[in-house]
Structure 1
Amino acid sequence: MRLLVLNPNTTQAMTDAVSAQIRALAGPAVCVEGLTAAAGCAVIDSAQSFAIGAAAALDSLQHYLRISAEKADGILLACFGDPGLHGLRAISPVPVRALAEAAIEAALASPGKFAILTCGPQWVPLLDACVEACGATARYAGCLALPVNGAALLREPAAYAPALLALSRAAADAGAAQLIMGGAAFAGLQIEIDPRLRRIDPVAAATQALLAPRA
């Protein structure tokens, strides 16, 4: 089986981190190919860059479908918030799964409310809208964000560990039983969270969805 990791921003390190995590999860029988947007934003952290990322994702997949000799069996959109997801599904000949959608589905499959932990305060309204689009508002305890974007977290993950732990405690205090690690920048990072919370890893959730037997 071949999976394509489609990163709608231009930061190769994020593509590599998500791809490495999928390889570890899926095992040697699955070939994982990374595709980073050739143009657009280095990091998606606002409504404007979200729209740019959605267009970049579509352009990337169109180019891939034109030139790739060996096509993927499934595609993972590697940006939490899922920019361009519906457009990708409209043109893709194979299943497309995305981080936020898969993580929210995983949260809804377990008891208790869920919260989202993310990078960058401008993501909060975007993710609130994503939760609403998934029909999960009744189970949603809110979104908590670091004051920096995912690129900053990638550069110095240890520096933000205390703040992430504090945010997770705030999520538990607000009634959450589950915490979605909302961002590709979290891929592969060992982040301590409040022990009252069940951690939901979006990369793992989306990978499991892609590898699940199809009806």
Structure 2
Amino acid sequence: MKRLLVINPNTSERVSALLQQHVQTAAGSHVVVQTVTARFGAPYIADEASYAVAAHAALDAWAAALACNESPPGSVLIGCFGDPGLMALRESSPVPVTGLAEAAFIEAARHGRYAVVTGGERWAPMIQRLAQALGQAQQLAGIHTVVPTGAQLAADPAAAHRLLARACRDAAHQLGVQAVILGGAGLAGMAAAIQADVPVPVIDSVVAGAHWALRSPPLPPQRTTPGFDIAWQGLSADMTRLGPAGG
């Protein structure tokens, strides 16, 4: 049976539970989904500093998950719309790795140009930079952020649905896009809830991540065994173990 490892690079167990529920539903019963939570960092990633720490936390969570399992998963999904640590983890993993943003960009681009709606005002430049790095800058027409973070939106779903539906409609009308991505692990399931109120397809980044990680690996792995190419100092035992000669 295929196994998908989902890494929540923030410390919120509530977000991990949302990821587990929605990724497992999207993946289907023939896939074993294992969601792991960052052992350190922020409860919600909302600025450059927490994003930087989350990249380290994602690598650490991956190393810890490998230490607890006899074999590596079939693929890895970074459960954050922003994909912290994506390139580093892809370099270090023998199996395909993707993130919520990369997967959602690819799915949305199938419809044409697209916009992103997400929670947290500081996310816009970070998402724009990621889109540029992933070759999606031309397809991404714009980013609409709402003031509440994803964690705050998830805490009040009814209010979140109204706010997000309006933001998605505005993005579709103002930018003339063919799809809108609703980005964020904390917003899992909300795209379906607001789709009837938005005139273009609304892409759920969590569902897109599950489908892409399982069916369309973005790039072939660069190595045959998990590991890092340099020795660490002062990091976790699990990360050190994966360095040259165990660090």
* 1:74 correspondence with 2:75: yes
Please name the residue that 2:225 is paired with.
none
List aligned pairs for 1:90-169, cutoff 5 A: 90-111=91-112, 113-169=113-169
List aligned pairs for 1:54-69, cutoff 5 A: 54-69=55-70
RMSD: 1.7
* 1:197 correspondence with 2:200: yes
By how many angstroms is 1:197 displaced?
1.4
Secondary structure of the 1:148 match is coil
Distance in 1, matches of 2:177 and 2:212, equals: 24
Please name the residue that 1:181 is paired with.
182
Structure 2 unmatched runs, 5+: 221-247
In terms of mean alpha carbon deviation, does 77-86 or 153-162 score higher? Answer: 153-162
TM-score (norm 1): 0.93
Distance in 2, matches of 1:65 and 1:195, equals: 41
Please name the residue that 2:210 is paired with.
207
By how many angstroms is 1:181 displaced?
0.9
Distance in 2, matches of 1:137 and 1:45, equals: 21
List aligned pairs for 1:25-44, cutoff 5 A: 25-44=26-45
- String of CA shifts for 1:36-94, please: whole Å, max 9, x gaps: 00111100011111001011001111222233234311111000010000111121121
Structure 1 unmatched runs, 5+: none
Distance in 1, matches of 2:151 and 2:23, equals: 20
Secondary structure of the 2:138 match is helix
TM-score (norm 2): 0.81
- String of CA shifts for 1:85-129, please: whole Å, max 9, x gaps: 011112112111111011111122223x20001010000110111
In terms of mean alpha carbon deviation, does 93-102 or 183-192 score higher? Answer: 183-192
% identity of equivalent residues? 36
User: Does the Cα contact within 8 Å between 1:141 and 1:171 map onto a contact in 2?
Assistant: no
By how many angstroms is 1:136 displaced?
2.0
Q: Which has the larger radius of gyration?
A: 2
Letter aligned with residue 197 of structure 1: V
Distance in 2, matches of 1:54 and 1:102, equals: 18
Distance in 1, matches of 2:212 and 2:130, equals: 18
User: Does the Cα contact within 8 Å between 2:11 and 2:38 map onto a contact in 1?
Assistant: yes
Displacement over 3 Å in runs of 4+:
none
